[in-house]
Each structure stands twice: as C-alpha cells, then as structure tokens.
Amino acid sequence: MTRATWRTRVGFVLAAVGSAVGLGNIWRFPWLTAQNGGGAFLLLYLLVVVLVGVPGLLGEMVIGRRSGRNPVGAFGTLGGDRWRPLGGLALFASVVVLSFYSVVGGWILRYTVASATGAYFPAPQEYFAAIDYGVGAAGFHALFLLATAAVVYVGVDRGIEVATTVMVPGIVLMLGGLAVWAGTLDGATGGYEFYLSLDLAYLRANFFDVLGAAAGQALFTLSVGAGAMLTYASYLGEDRSLAADGTLIAGLNTGIGVLAGLVIFPLLFSLGVDPGAGGPGALFISLAGAFASLPYSRLVGIAFFGVVLLAALSSSISIYEVLVSYLVDEHGASRGGATAAVGTLFLVTGTGAALSPSLFTLLADTIANLALTAGLLGFLLFDGWVLGRLALEEYELGAGRIATLAGRPWFVAIAVILPLFLAFTFVTGIGGVVG
Ligand code: PFF
Ligand code: NA
C-alpha cells in the first residue's frame, strides 16, 4: 500500500500549525507563566522558542521527510536497525503527552457543554473541584479521545488535512474576536501589565528553574520531541523548503499564542484573579467565574471553550498519528486496527491520569518536559552524528538563498550546541524531580 501524502502544501502547514497551537498556548502557558514569575518566564520562553525550538523543529522535520517514516522506522531506515530504540524515545514522549492532554481535553469538552446550561456559573470553584478527577473526568476524556480517533481513522489527507484546514482559520478568527472583546472589559490593562511585567529579581533568584520550565514549554508549544512534526513531515511528497515552512509554522504558533494571551490575561484580571493560584485548574475556575458575571455569559462560554476544544483536537490528532503511523509502517497494521490499538492504550493511561491528580500533575508539569527534551535530543544527535551531510542536504533541499546560507550555522547548532543545552536542561530537570 502506498503511503499517504498531503494534498497541498498549505494543508501540511495548517495541519502542523494545528498541532502546535493548542492547550499549550491557552491553558499550560498562562499556568506556567504565573507559576514562574510572569514576564520573566515569557522572555526566556520566547528566546528558547527562537534559538532552540525553531532549529529543533527543522531538525525533527528533516528526518521525517528524508525517510518518509514514523520516528522508529525513520531511524532504522536512515541509520540502521541499532538506531531504532532511540526513535522509541519519541514514542514514549507521545504516550506521556497525550495521556494527560486528553484529560484536559475532556475538561474542555465538559465546560463547552456546561456553558450551554450555565452549570458552572453559580459556584465555579466547587464545580471544577467536583469534575476535575474521577469517573466523570475519565468519561469525558474517553469522549475526547474518541473524537481524536475518528479524525485519525479517516486518514492523513481526507481526515487530518480536511479537519485542520477548517479548524485553524476558525481558531484564529474566534480568538481574534475574543481578544477584541476582552480588551473592552474593565481591568483589562492589569492583565496586559502582568503579561508584560518583567520581575528581574525573581528571574535572578530562580534562573535555572525558570529556564527549565521555559525550555520544556518551548518544545511543548511547537510540538517538538514527540515525533508529531517528524511524522507530519514524513507525509510530504515534494521538495519545497522545510526551512521556510518550519519558520512559518513557528511564527504562526507564536502569533496565535500571543493572541491567546491577549484573551486570557485581560479576562483573568478583569475579575482580579491570580492565574497562578490553584494549579492546573486555575484557568477553568477563574474563566468560568469571569464568564458568569458577563452579559451573554452562555454564548461567551460556548465560544471560548469551543475554540479551545478545536485547538486541543487539532493537537491531539497529531500525537495520536505518531503511534498509528508507527504501527502501520513497522507492524503492517491496517489504519483501523492501529487506531483501535492506540485508542485502547490511551484509554488506559488517560484513565489513570483522570483518576489520580498526582499522576496527572507529574505527567503534565514534569515528565512531559523531560520526555520531549529526551526525544528532541535523540533527533538532533541523529541528525548531527548519524545523518551528517545528509541532514544538511535535506535542510537545503528546495531552500532559497537565505535558507541555504543559514544551513551551516543551523547544522552546527543542532549537532553540538542544542544537544548540550538540552542535556543540561534535562539534567537540571531530573535534579528538580529528585531534589
Ligand atoms: N503543541 C501542543 C500544544 O501547545 O498544545 C501540544 C503538543 C502536540 C505537544 C503534539 C507535543 C506534540 F507532539
Ligand atoms: Na502550541
């Protein structure tokens, strides 16, 4: 059977942007920003996105396009069988990420439905505490997973490409509308100030913690390290510049992320809530509280949680696809069989995270960062030390003059400098877990 390819280049870019834009931008980013000192975190995060995330994204996509395979198959095809286990790191990262991601997806789904009846309006705090973990959370997680599986099942070009081509422009339009509306709220300026405040004393006192969190979030937001971008690039049939597309994808993700911040922070501050207090549920509690006091609160709730749901789905399908492509490429599974097998796996792991708050938090704020870092480290070392010249050639394939000039510095960065940086954040990250 021939492997699927994207129908259009725009379709590929939109699918990749759909993967990048997600709960990372809307839920995880404000949570971590508040936990790590506001603007100081934002600054380091943006630096790491540009210096590590973008070259790393290209390093990952190069392997996918060159091999036309999933992460494990790519390492085997390009480097020989003994490299296959290194590709397994990315599969592991995919499992870690989707196991908690779909639980948050379930929360979002529930809030979208609950907005229609206003169920959370009278007591936002109690509402979240009643639904966050447990059997109900496991059920909504399963529904979110089912929606993800349905898109993946239909296929790369007819399922993922069609769905994301509709979703991504929808997300941008709705976020834009919400950002304009949020700017009209009383107290919005407080939100912008927090977003842009730079607490240098905090940064100096907690530099390595903030750096580690910023680095993990930079990979997370670009969907780098779990093989999602590698897998998407493996469905590229033609030779246009990856450098141009990678930069475009990262730029759009950052732009949409900033737009999401312009919705979230004014909303939170219009009610005087501290986005950091209360951990992963803070966003839900405070936004739900904010919506309750607004005119047209149900409509606002449906619009907001609906757009977040689309963003979450367009990301979860990219993670799901990594494992499906692995089973199809390497084990000769049918798409239907692979989709069912992957769904069963995530039904189990996600239910674990939906029932156990401590497992959830461990996966979401610690293991995910470590796993993505290890996955990307594997890709970059493979580019630099196994593929070597071929990686550079692949990067320059179809590239314009500027991208070609950037080829050598890029290669030095991914072969040497970024691996050192990632190894460092990995080790300090482990230190944080153990210590
Ligand atoms: N980039 C997604 C987000 O910001 O929500 C999350 C993600 C998707 C991480 C795909 C990793 C991945 F492979
Ligand atoms: Na993102």
Can you give the length of the chain in residues?
435
**Which atom of ligand 1 is found nearest the CA of 311?**
5
The CA distance from 300 to 179, in Å, is: 12
Positive or negative, the CA dihedral 265, 46, 394, 376 is negative
Distance 401 CA to ligand 1 centre (A): 31
Distances (CA, A) of 195 to 33, 207, 259, 278: 8, 19, 12, 18
Contact between 291 and 297 under an 8 Å Cβ cutoff? The reply is yes
DSSP notation for 254-308: HHHHHHHHHHHHHHHHHTT--TTTTGGGHHHHHHHHHHHTSTTHHHHHHHHHHHH
The CA distance from 282 to 73, in Å, is: 40
What is the per-residue pLDDT for 277?
A: 59
Contact between 192 and 266 under an 8 Å Cβ cutoff? The reply is yes
Residue nearest to ligand 1 atom 10, measured at CA:
223
The CA distance from 224 to 372, in Å, is: 7
Task: Identify the nearest ligand to the CA of 260 by its number.
Answer: 2
**Which atom of ligand 1 is found nearest the CA of 221?**
4
Distance 214 CA to ligand 2 centre (A): 13
Q: Tokens standing for 60?
A: 């990952």
Task: Identify the nearest ligand to the CA of 364 by its number.
Answer: 1
ipTM above 0.90, yes or no: yes
What is the per-residue pLDDT for 386?
A: 97
Q: Tokens standing for 122?
A: 């009278």
With 0-12 / 13-18 / 19 or more C-beta atoms within 10 angstroms meaning exposed / middle / buried, residue 17 is buried
Distance 95 CA to ligand 1 centre (A): 12
The CA distance from 187 to 370, in Å, is: 37
Place of tokens 């606002």: 300
**Which atom of ligand 1 is found nearest the CA of 226?**
13
> What's at 215, amino acid-wise?
A
Which residue ranges of the chain lie beneath pLDDT 70?
Answer: 1, 271-279, 435
The CA distance from 280 to 271, in Å, is: 18
Place of tokens 């993946």: 152
Could you tell me the pTM of the whole model? Answer: 0.95
User: For the chain, first and last CA: distance in Å?
Assistant: 51
What is the per-residue burial (b if ≥16 Cβ within 10 Å, else e) of 366-388? bbbbbbbbbbbbbbbbbbbebbe
What is the per-residue pLDDT for 275?
A: 59
Q: Torsion-angle region of residue 187: left (phi > 0), alpha (psi -120 to 50) or beta?
A: left
Residue nearest to ligand 1 atom 9, measured at CA:
223
What is the per-residue pLDDT for 111?
A: 96
Task: Identify the nearest ligand to the CA of 15 by its number.
Answer: 1
Ligand 1 pocket test, candidate residues 33, 70, 95, 97, most atoms within 8 A of CB = 97
Residues with Cβ within 8 Å of residue 176, at least 6 apart in sequence: 259
Q: Tokens standing for 149?
A: 């599986």
- Nearby residues for ligand 2 (ion, Cβ within 5 Å): 20-21, 24-25, 221
Distance 389 CA to ligand 2 centre (A): 31
DSSP notation for 141-156: HHHHHHHHHHHHHH-I
Contact between 338 and 327 under an 8 Å Cβ cutoff? The reply is yes
Ligand 1 pocket test, candidate residues 101, 102, 164, 231, most atoms within 8 A of CB = 101
The CA distance from 405 to 403, in Å, is: 5
The CA distance from 220 to 295, in Å, is: 35
Ligand 1 pocket test, candidate residues 315, 317, 363, 379, most atoms within 8 A of CB = 315
User: Which CATH code fits 9-434?
Assistant: 1.10.4160
> What's at 224, amino acid-wise?
V
Distance 220 CA to ligand 1 centre (A): 5
Distance 211 CA to ligand 2 centre (A): 18
**Which atom of ligand 1 is found nearest the CA of 318?**
10
Residues with Cβ within 8 Å of residue 358, at least 6 apart in sequence: none
The CA distance from 205 to 262, in Å, is: 28
pLDDT in tens, 165-190: 999 999 999 999 989 988 998 888 88
Convert 73-130 into a string of H (helix), E (strand) and C (coil). HHHHHHHCHHHHHHHHHHHHHHHHHHHHHHHHHHHHHHHHHHHHHCCCCCCHHHHHHH
Residue nearest to ligand 1 atom 7, measured at CA:
223
**Which atom of ligand 1 is found nearest the CA of 322?**
13
Distance 131 CA to ligand 1 centre (A): 24
Within 6 A (CB) of ligand 1 lie: 19-20, 22-25, 97, 220-221, 223, 226, 228, 315, 318-319
Q: Which of 104, 138, 130, 113 is nearest to 319 (CA)?
A: 104
Residue nearest to ligand 1 atom 8, measured at CA:
223
The CA distance from 65 to 115, in Å, is: 42
